[in-house]
Structure 1
C-alpha cells in the first residue's frame, strides 16, 4: 500500500522532471561562467567522499538561483549526486566542495570514476517548482577515487 505522502512526493518529482525536460531552454543569464573539477575524490575514514574544484560566475538573474551540482558515476552502475551549495556569482574565483556519506551509494570504491561538475541556474516562474534549469558551465572528467591517508 502506498501512502498519500509518497504519492505527493512522486507527483512533485515527476512534475519537476517534466518541467526540466519539456520546457524550452530559457536564455542563460549568467555570463563568463567557469567551473573546474579536481581530478581526484577523497574517501575519508568515516566513509565520507569529497570532490572539489573552483568556479567563477557573474551576477545572475534576480528571478533565479545559481548552484553547483556534482555527479559521480563508477563502473556504469554506481551513481552519486552531490550538491555543493549555492554559487556566489561576483566574477571572482571561488572554491567549491561537495561531500556525501557513502551509505547512500555503498558501491563507490577506490579506482577511477567519471565525475561532472555543473553550475546550474534555476529559473522560477512564480511558484515552488522551477520553470527551467539551465546548465551554464560544466566540467566532466575521469577522477581517481582514493582513501585519504
Structure 2
C-alpha cells in the first residue's frame, strides 16, 4: 500500500482546516437584517370574531407604497384569512405593525394558529405597479380570547 494517497489526503484536509477561520467569543454578533418582519407570539380574538395580529418590521429602499399584510389559518385547513394591511415606512428603522380583520363568523377560535406576515411594496413599473416582497415570516401564534 502506498503512503502517497494518504499523505496527499492529509495535507489537503490540513489546508482546508487552515482556510476556514475559527469562530471565537470576540467575533461580533451578526448585524440585524436590513429587512425583516416578526410576528408576536400571541394574537387576540374578540367575541365578535375580530382578530388582531401584531409584530415588528424593518425595510429599506422603497419607491412605491409599502404595506404589512397578514394572514391566518387554523388546524390542518388550507384556508387562510387575510387580516388587515397596515401602511409601512421603509426608513431602515424597526417599527410596530398591528392588523385587525374579521374573517367568516366561526372560522377561527382561541388556540394555536399559523400566521404569515409580509412586507410588500407596490413598485411602479410602467402603467401597473408590481409587487416587490421585502420580508416574510411564518410562525405559530396563540389566539387569546379578548
Between the two proteins, the alignment pairs up a number of residues equal to 113
**2: CA distance between counterparts of 1:136 and 1:88?**
12
Q: What secondary structure sits across from 1:37 in the alignment?
A: coil
Structure label with greater radius of gyration: 2
Structure 1: unaligned runs, 5 residues or longer: 1-30
**2: CA distance between counterparts of 1:43 and 1:74?**
13
Task: Spell out, residue by residue over 1:7-47, the C-alpha distance to the aligned partner (whole angstroms, 9 max, x if none).
Answer: xxxxxxxxxxxxxxxxxxxxxxxx91111100111012443
Query: Any residues of structure 2 matched to 1:19-30 within 5 Å, and which?
Result: none
Give the drift of 1:134. 2.4
Query: Any residues of structure 2 matched to 1:55-70 within 5 Å, and which?
Result: 55-61=57-63, 64-70=64-70
**2: CA distance between counterparts of 1:86 and 1:138?**
15
Q: What secondary structure sits across from 1:107 in the alignment?
A: coil
**2: CA distance between counterparts of 1:78 and 1:147?**
21
Contact 2:59 2:134 survives alignment (8 Å): no
Is the counterpart of residue 137 in structure 1 residue 141 in structure 2? no
**2: CA distance between counterparts of 1:89 and 1:107?**
34
Match of 2:97 in 1: 96
Structure 2: unaligned runs, 5 residues or longer: 1-32
Match of 2:114 in 1: 114
Match of 1:71 in 2: 71
Q: What secondary structure sits across from 2:85 in the alignment?
A: strand
Structure 2 length as normaliser, TM-score? Answer: 0.68
CA RMSD of aligned residues (A): 1.9
**2: CA distance between counterparts of 1:147 and 1:60?**
37
Structure 1 length as normaliser, TM-score? Answer: 0.67
Match of 2:145 in 1: 147
Contact 1:78 1:108 survives alignment (8 Å): no
